[in-house]
Amino acid sequence: MRVVVGKIIALVLLVGLLLGLFFKGVEELKPQKNVVSIPEYAPWSEEVIDLAASLPVQEGGRIKPLETRASYAMLQMRGDRRITIEGKGGEKVRVGPTAWMLDIFFRPEIAAELPSFRVDNAEVLKSLGIEFDDRKKRDRYSYAELETHLPTVMQKAGDYQELSSRGADLTPVEEQTLDLATSLQTYFYLTNYFNFVREGIILRAGEGEGKKVSMSTVLATSGQIVDAIRKSQESGGIPPHINELLMQIDQSVMSSKFVFHPLPPTTAEEEKWSSVGELIEATLTGQIADPNQAVRDVQRLEELYDAYREGEKSFAKNLADFRASTMTRAGKDAERSVDTELSFNRVDWFRKALYTFSFGALALLVYLFIHEGAVGKWLRVALWSFTSVGLFLILAGIVHRYMVVLRPPVTNLYETIPYITAGTVLLFLLVELATKNRIALVAAPVVGMAGMVLAAVFQVAAASDSLDPLVAVLRSNFWLTTHVLTVTFGYAAGLGAAVIGFIYIFSRVLGLDGGDKNFRRAITRMTYGIICFTLVLSLIGTVLGGIWANYSWGRFWGWDPKENGALMIVLWTLFILHGRAAGLLREWGVNLAAAFGGVVVTFSWFHVNMLGTGLHSYGFTDGKEAIWYFYGAATFVIVGGMAYSFWESSQQKAKKAAKKNETAKVPANEPA
């Protein structure tokens, strides 16, 4: 009876966990609430979106496809990579990052209606004196709704920025106000980028309407403009019509100078790509080697905009020409990395891995009921297959990422997630190969799924390009491939041991093992083996990190939180191994301690980065509360397991005592 109840509870928990993970990981499959109706919205053709997505731009210190640029901009502003709206005739239209960026550039009035800004706490807006009666605490807003409040948001954000620069700790509402201001500012620059085409330059010789000319036309006469300014300065002042011209140019420069750099340098020595505003400014101030090329570049973007006005076909053709000419100038390396990144985005290895592990988890659910006979055998094959394919997909994704940027695969917190997931899954498969007791096999797809969900959630929460260049100290392929890979594989092993530890606790508490001592011993041996492996990797990884620090910062050990985290894993595993050797930790103790090792690894892997101190602080704070839920749940299970083990032990003692008493009552001459 107890086994049946235990199995039902375990099944409910497992199904709940798997469903929770699945829906968290595939948020984009969920239908969106509060769909905005924009009847005049006309979707872009596939051809235009594909061509625009592949345009190379420079941002964050590297060359990337526009699709990536748009994707992270959308994540930062909206916390999502799609917007579903009701278009013409109530038809549902899904707007992806590239389409969204095209809207912002070319159809600013329509783009302003899209709910592009996520505000997590309505208090942010309330503190700015902005109130919407029909909105929830966390909701999305359009640029049109927030535009009128832009000066207020910017002023408050400026105040908070100053507070922060003086070392004050900002409250979450203040932090979110800063984030909102940054998003609004980025959007403002993007949506006004093509103002230099839309508005052109109005040339006025005297009173009257004046003549509208293109920016490139004005720029082509930059030499004459500069001469005119110099002469008029010599003769007592700049005349009003030149002043007005300069003001118009200045406005165009300001709106097209930031956040979008699509124009490669003209010489091989230069690396920096330009925005239109930078080219205009550099041309007029004489700080450019080839002003004629600058004029041609501005003209190319004007032609692109004109082509958009002419219609989709013309726009598509011009986009293709623009891409081809940009790539020719950018060079083979840029073309290779953009194309590789585009294919990486298209394949979406980690998403596919998530789906594969989900199928594996589904097979697992069935396997829990039918694990004997031919069906059981086939389910085991399915478990092996889905898990192995999932692992292959993660590894392929890691290799593909490497091919995009040509640097070691684990350089930031995001990249550790697929790597650690792959490490744990690989470890489980190896353990399964060695033990063939199917414990690691059933855990592997769940771990793979959880890891891939974490990767998806983290990417949304961090909303920053994880392929951007490294800081100076990290630019060492030797140390990145030795220290980082070793220590993070140690995390993977530590988490693996914790998972097996939790399996032991649940098996014992819910009676799933049916009292099978072989099963218990097998699990404990597995836990012990993985802990040994964790120790080897963590110790070597930690000391390697110390030696790297000794080369970089001049000290082996600096009590930096990340270093401490790695040391904590080493100390904890040593504690378990020595506790077992001393007879202080037995079956229960080893597994409970291994499960707690999961908390230690989580602290070391994630939490130390949120402490806001030390050399490894990545400033990641979104979703901070999730870690507390994990700690809470883990502690609950571990404390529950401890309580159960004490209860079980006292029961056994009582039974033994009773048996002893009964034996004592039997007279010596009677058979017992």
Partner 1 sequence: MENSNSPNSRPKKSAASNPLEAVVKFLSSTQLATFLLLALFVLTWFATLEQTVNGLKPMMDKYFNWKELFFFPEIGKPWQKDGAMVPITIRFPMPSGFWLCVLFTINLTLGGLIRFRKSPQKIGILLSHFSIVFLMVAAGVTKFTEKRGALQIYEGKVSDAARDYHAEVIEISELADGKVTKVHLVDWEFLKDLRGGGERMFKLSNLPFDLKVTNLVENAQVSPAQFVPPVKGEKVIDGFHLKALPRAKETEAHMAGVELSVLSKGGENLQELLLGSRSLKPATVSVDGRPYLLQMRKKLWPLPFKVQLDDFRVERDPGTNRAAAYESDVTRLDGVETEEVLIQMNEPMRRRGWTFFQANWGPQDDPNPAEYYSVFEVVHNPADHWPLWSLLISMAGLIGHFVYKLTLFLTKPRKSAVS
Report 459-498 residues binding partner 1 (CB under 8 A): 469, 471-473, 475-476, 479
Does residue number 169 form part of the binding site for partner 1 (CB under 8 A)? yes
Does residue number 519 form part of the binding site for partner 1 (CB under 8 A)? yes
Does residue number 508 form part of the binding site for partner 1 (CB under 8 A)? no
Residue 212, helix vs strand vs coil:
strand
Q: What is the DSSP letter of 613?
A: -
Least distance from C-beta 134 to partner 1, angstroms? 26
Binding pattern for the stretch 172-211 against partner 1, x by CB under 8 A and - elsewhere: x--x------------------------------------
Does residue number 572 form part of the binding site for partner 1 (CB under 8 A)? yes
Considering beta carbons, is residue 39 or 514 the nearer one to partner 1? 514
Task: Please give the full DSSP string across 473-526, using - where no structure is assigned.
Answer: GG--HHHIIIIIHHHHHHHHHHHHHHHHHHHHHHHHHTTTTTT-HHHHHHHHHH
| Count of chain residues binding partner 1 (CB under 8 A) | 80
Report 250-309 residues binding partner 1 (CB under 8 A): 261, 271-273
Least distance from C-beta 112 to partner 1, angstroms? 28
Binding pattern for the stretch 524-543 against partner 1, x by CB under 8 A and - elsewhere: -----x--xx-xx--xx--x
Euclidean distance between the first and final Cα of the chain, in Å? 31
Binding window for partner 1 (CB under 8 A); candidates: 148-156, 210-218, 353-361, 552-560: 552-560
Neighbours of 224 (CB within 10 A): 10
Binds partner 1 (CB under 8 A): choice among 289, 434, 639, 658: 434
Enumerate residues 6+ apart whose C-beta is below 8 A from 123: 173
Least distance from C-beta 562 to partner 1, angstroms? 9
Report 364-383 residues binding partner 1 (CB under 8 A): 371-372
Least distance from C-beta 594 to partner 1, angstroms? 14
C-alpha dihedral (593, 595, 596, 602), degrees to nearest 10: 140
Binding pattern for the stretch 582-601 against partner 1, x by CB under 8 A and - elsewhere: xxx-----------------
Residues in the chain: 672
Binding window for partner 1 (CB under 8 A); candidates: 182-190, 354-362, 402-410, 609-617: 609-617
Binds partner 1 (CB under 8 A): choice among 155, 224, 328, 613: 613
Cβ(364)–Cβ(446) below 8 Å: yes
Considering beta carbons, is residue 60 or 210 the nearer one to partner 1? 60
Residue 293, helix vs strand vs coil:
helix
Least distance from C-beta 13 to partner 1, angstroms? 21
Least distance from C-beta 267 to partner 1, angstroms? 13
Considering beta carbons, is residue 227 or 333 the nearer one to partner 1? 333
Q: Are strands 56-59 and 62-65 parallel, antiparallel or unpaired?
A: antiparallel
Binds partner 1 (CB under 8 A): choice among 378, 402, 556, 618: 556
Report which of 186, 184, 182, 156 is spatially closest to residue 171, judged by C-alpha positions.
156
Report 50-69 residues binding partner 1 (CB under 8 A): 58-62
Binds partner 1 (CB under 8 A): choice among 129, 134, 311, 559: 559
From the number of C-beta atoms within 10 Å of its C-beta (0-12, 13-18, 19+), residue 47 rates as middle
Phi, psi angles (nearest 5°) of residue 211: -115, 130
Does residue number 331 form part of the binding site for partner 1 (CB under 8 A)? no
Q: Cα–Cα distance between 397 and 234 in angstroms, integer? A: 64
Does residue number 580 form part of the binding site for partner 1 (CB under 8 A)? yes
Does residue number 435 form part of the binding site for partner 1 (CB under 8 A)? yes
Considering beta carbons, is residue 58 or 283 the nearer one to partner 1? 58
Does residue number 235 form part of the binding site for partner 1 (CB under 8 A)? no
In single-letter form, the type of residue at position 444 comes to A
Report which of 302, 412, 500 is spatially closest to residue 492, judged by C-alpha positions.
500
Enumerate residues 6+ apart whose C-beta is below 8 A from 462: 413, 414, 620, 622
Residue 130, helix vs strand vs coil:
coil
Q: Cα–Cα distance between 538 and 491 in angstroms, integer? A: 7
Residues linked to residue 36 through DSSP beta bridges, in sequence order: 85
Least distance from C-beta 284 to partner 1, angstroms? 20
Binding window for partner 1 (CB under 8 A); candidates: 206-214, 350-358, 572-580, 662-670: 572-580
Q: Cα–Cα distance between 668 and 414 in angstroms, integer? A: 72
Least distance from C-beta 581 to partner 1, angstroms? 5
